Amino acid sequence: MEMTRFIETNDGRKPYKTHRPTATRDVALLILLLDTGLRAGEACRLNVGDVDLEGAQDYIRPYGNSGIKTKSRIVPLGKATIRVLWKYKVTLEE
């Protein structure tokens, strides 16, 4: 489980770290967005079946059924993205 920021206290206690259950997911999502250049809406539409970790790519579906504004495409994944997505996948299976 990932750790989050230090919590400062005003009553003289030492600062401490807290556990955040969504930290692995948050890191995976941020690195995915930064590495691939996906829009936030495209990342929200991703399904587990759309991400191919062995082939290092993900399939981006168009918005809605018309596909007028966006087209479907395949986006390559970088090494850092694959690593954090594997870590997130393992935490989901636990």
C-alpha distances (whole Å) from 67 to each of 32, 48, 49, 58 are: 23, 21, 20, 18
d(CA 46, CA 58): 8
Q: What percent of the chain has pLDDT over 90?
A: 29
Domain boundaries, the chain: 3-93
pLDDT attached to residue 5: 66
Mean pLDDT by 10 residues, the chain (94 residues): 68 77 87 92 87 90 70 90 90 79
pLDDT attached to residue 3: 61
pTM recorded for the entire structure: 0.73
C-alpha distances (whole Å) from 94 to each of 1, 20, 88, 89, 91 are: 12, 16, 10, 9, 5
- Each residue's pLDDT tens digit, 43-61: 888 888 888 989 999 988 8
d(CA 45, CA 75): 14
CATH code of domain 3-93: 1.10.443.10
